[in-house]
Chains A and B, each alone.
Chain A
Amino acid sequence: MTDVSRFSAARTAAAIAAGELSALEVTQAALDRIAKVDDRINAFLHVDVDGAVAAARGVDRRRAAGERLGPLAGVPLALKDVFAARGMPTTCGSRMLEGWRPPYDATVVAKLRAAGVVIIGKANMDEFAMGSSTENSAYGPTRNPWDTDRIPGGSSGGSAAAVAAFETPVSIGTDTGGSIRQPAAVCGLVGVKPTYGGVSRYGLVAFSSSLDQAGPLARTVTDAALLHAAIAGHDPLDTTSIELPVPGVVAAAASRDLRGVRIGVVRELSGDGYDIGVRARFSDALEVLVGLGAEVIEVSCPHFVYALPAYYLIAPSECSSNLARFDAMRFGLRIGDDGEAGAEEVMTRTRGAGFGAEVKRRIMLGTYALSSGYYDAYYGQAQKVRTLISQDFAAAYERVDVLASPTTPTVAFRLGEKVDDPVAMYLSDLCTIPSNLAGGPAMSLPVGLADGLPVGFQIMAPTFADDRLYQVGGALEAALDAARGHPLLDDAPQL
């Protein structure tokens, strides 16, 4: 019997449109798979059985009525629990929002529903999207389907694990410093951070507003492109949303033509601190790209080495401001309201009890960096470094069309290995942060295994040129799959 759980999103939707499968059968297969494996993975915080079945039946009715279905109609999806979706709890992996049900849909959610995508449930994450391992979730860590003793990355670890464990073909994550690309890399998936402003942030619980961006996780470049196209576009409800047409990502994913494409390897994102296996797979992939007709040259982006420190000033500063809204007054947790205690005491007690260690650490760090006397030296200086990083990108893109690096310095590490060492944990995002600071799009795609674990290859492109990621990624994926004889995820252990 064919296992529909292993179908790509594109193949699933095509089979539904052709009447070979019903959307209800597909959704039931996803629910069965979750029931079978998720007690070992913990990718989901909430499974919306009734909502998913109703959405699938809706797609089947539309088909029966002769409606033309879109390219993702009937495809099951895991939604990172940082998005408001009416009818489902939204916790952001925090006790602060336990049991809260948002009264409206995020724009991303509205677009998914309009496309006929079946939202299966809410995916686990590091609390308020702060972390690189999903160990900061208040609801227990998610585990990597390749090795359940290892982390699935973070903060979108639940979104990545759900797709790598064949629970859903695709998922939505968010990426503030690498939170889509790093989980994609360590779980053997394709993950994309679109250009900042390419996807609406309306209804996305804010962590660092100038950096947060939602994007797709998928098993294939084409699936990522289909999902990217479905969620992108201008939204008047998000004032930072871009008023430009969505780049032609789906066509680019299918182009398979790299002749004359110039790829710059960033000198500063390699060398010491990178696993030997990661470096080897990265070099192998570059050779494949040369074989496909691309030109590979080395470029220098001297300020990239300051991206990590600048990020850990800017993101906590914005976080300390954004998370002030969790004040125990209008929604979420309230502790100590005994009729005697004043609002400030209730607020302080609630925040002390409701936030986990990493969130507290970042709020405190941001409060410090923004306090008078330190502002210019820390936050102000970090914003200037941000300008210099954008200038490094601009100079590089005068010589090349895209930039490349490993996505992460290491393969998936073990659960518990870095929880007590925040600075070591922060290094997971060394290669991904520059694109967040400069706003450009970036993709991670799997290029092989090191020590039996997936290695991610990062492609970065200029702002608004998201299609270039898919052009390079699609060609590289096709060549690697052809050489291997099968997709990389077929090598993952059976769950």
Chain B
Amino acid sequence: MAITRDEVAHLARLSRLALSDEELGTLASQLDVIIGAVARVAEVAAGDIPPTTHAVPLTNVFRADITRTSLSQADALAGAPAAEDGRFRVPRILDMDE
């Protein structure tokens, strides 16, 4: 089952990745080869085998409810691409006509 260029473009949209035409072409052929290789997992008869999500068994983990110091506002904003009035400044998230 070959991965089409349209499928790759769709995956890029889902992944929020702006890709050039050249990148789309390269990725289409590379993903095809990689998916062909990893599809080998289908050879394993694993019908009733439980999946592993985590290597070491864990149940819910809680911490004691103790107040401790957190990052200051200045520290939290120090690495921001843009900040204003003590907040992260971000591009608009709604269309102009909404």
A and B are partners in one complex rather than unrelated chains: yes
Interfacial residues, chain A to chain B (CB-CB below 8 A): 100-104, 195-197, 210-211, 236, 239-240, 242, 303, 306, 309-310, 312-313, 320, 324, 327-334, 337, 341-349, 351-353, 355, 357, 360-361, 363-365, 367-369, 371, 377-378, 380-388, 390, 422-423, 426, 436-439, 463
Contact of B38 among A303, A313, A331 (CB under 8 A): A313
Interface residues of B in 52-98 (CB under 8 A from A): 52-56, 58, 61, 63, 71, 75-76, 78-82, 88, 90-95
Selected from B44, B50, B91, B92, the residue in CB contact (under 8 A) with A381 is: B44
Query: Given contacts A387-B49, A422-B30, are A240 and B58 in contact (CB under 8 A)?
Result: yes
Closest Cβ of chain B to A452, distance in Å, is 32
Q: Label chain A's interface by main secondary structure.
A: helix
Give min CB distance, B6 to chain A, whole Å. 13
A334–B23 touching, CB < 8 Å? no
> Is the interface on chain B under 10, 10 to 19, 20 to 34, or 35 or more residues?
35 or more
Residue in B8, B56, B75, B78 whose CB lies within 8 Å of A197: B56
- Across the interface, which residues of B come within 8 angstroms of A371, CB to CB? 11, 14
Digitize B10-43: 1 where CB-to-A-CB distance is under 8 Å, 0 elsewhere: 0110111111000100110011011101111111
- 7 examples of A-B residue contacts, CB within 8 angstroms: A103-B76, A343-B91, A346-B91, A357-B26, A367-B11, A371-B14, A439-B55
CB-CB under 8 A from B46, the residues of chain A are: 381, 384-385, 387-388
- From B19, B71, B92, name the one whose CB has the most chain A CB atoms within 10 angstroms: B92
Smallest CB separation, A275 vs chain B (Å): 21
Find out whether the CB atom of B19 lies under 8 angstroms from the CB atom of A328. no
Which label, helix, strand, loop or mixed, suits the secondary structure of the B interface? loop
Residue of B nearest to A427 (CB): B37
Is the Cβ of B52 less than 8 Å from the Cβ of A306?
no
Q: A309 and B55: CB pair below 8 A? A: no
In the complex the two chains form, is A390's CB within 8 Å of B55's CB?
yes
A412 to chain B, nearest CB (A): 23
B92 touches A343 (CB 8 A): yes
The answer, among B52, B53, B71, B93, for a CB contact under 8 Å with A342, is B93
- Decide if A240 touches B56 in the complex (CB within 8 Å): yes
Q: Determine which residue in A104, A306, A333, A377 has the highest number of CB atoms from chain B within 10 A of its CB, and name it.
A: A306
Contacting residues, chain B, for A438 (C-beta < 8 A): 55
Q: Across the interface, do B40 and A352 meet the contact criterion of CB distance under 8 Å?
A: no
A154 to B87, CA, bound (A): 38
Which of B18, B51, B82 is A383 in contact with, Cβ under 8 Å?
Answer: B51
Contact residues in A for B23 (Cβ distance below 8 Å): 357, 360
Task: State whether A365 and B34 are in contact (beta carbons under 8 Å apart), knowing that A306-B44, A329-B81, A378-B41 are contacts in the complex.
Answer: yes
A420 to B20, CA, bound (A): 18
Q: Are A329 and B34 closer than 8 Å at their CB atoms?
A: no
Among A242, A334, A364, A436, which residue has its beta carbon within 8 angstroms of that of B12? A364
Q: Which residues of B contact A360 (CB under 8 A)?
A: 17, 19, 23, 27
- B11's partner among A195, A332, A368 (CB-CB below 8 A) is A368
Additional A-B contacts beyond A101-B79, A332-B79, A385-B44 (8; CB < 8 A):
A312-B34, A334-B81, A349-B18, A355-B17, A360-B19, A364-B11, A381-B41, A382-B38
Residues of B within 8 A of A355 (CB): 17
Bound-state Cα–Cα, A351 to B14, Å: 12
Please give, as numbers and ranges, the residues of chain B lying within 8 Å of A341 by CB-CB distance.
91
List residues of chain A with CB within 8 A of the CB of B53. Answer: 210, 383
C-alpha spacing A242/B56, complex, angstroms? 9
**Bound complex: CA of A361 vs CA of B95, how far in Å?**
30
Q: Which of B15, B71, B94 has the most CB of A within 10 A?
A: B15
A384 near B50 with CB under 8 A, answer yes
Known contacts A306-B41, A364-B17, A387-B49; is A342 also within 8 Å of B92 by CB?
yes
Complex Cα–Cα for A344 and B13 (A): 10
Q: Which residues of A contact B49 (CB under 8 A)?
A: 384, 387-388
Closest B residue to A339 using CB positions: B91
Residues in B neighbouring A100, C-beta threshold 8 A: 79
Give the complex CA separation of A150 and B3 in angstroms: 34
Contact B56 A309 (CB under 8 A): no
Q: Do residues B88 and A329 form an inter-chain contact, with CB atoms below 8 A?
A: yes
CB distance from A408 to the nearest CB of B (A): 19
* CB <8 Å contact, A337 and B91: yes
B26: which A residues are within 8 A, CB to CB?
357
A240 B63 Cβ-Cβ under 8 A: no
Complex interface: chain B residues within 8 A of A385 (CB): 41, 44, 46
What's the minimum C-beta distance from A428 to chain B, rounded to whole angstroms? Answer: 14
Q: Nearest CB to that of B43 among chain A residues? A: A306
CB closest chain-B residue, reference A324: B16
Chain B residues closer than 8 Å to A306, beta-carbon distance: 40-41, 43-44
- Which residues of B are found within 8 Å of A104, using beta-carbon distances? 71, 75
Interface centre among A332, A364, A439, by most B CB within 10 Å?
A: A364
A361 touches B42 (CB 8 A): no
Tell me which residues across on chain A come within 8 A of B40, comparing CB atoms.
306, 309
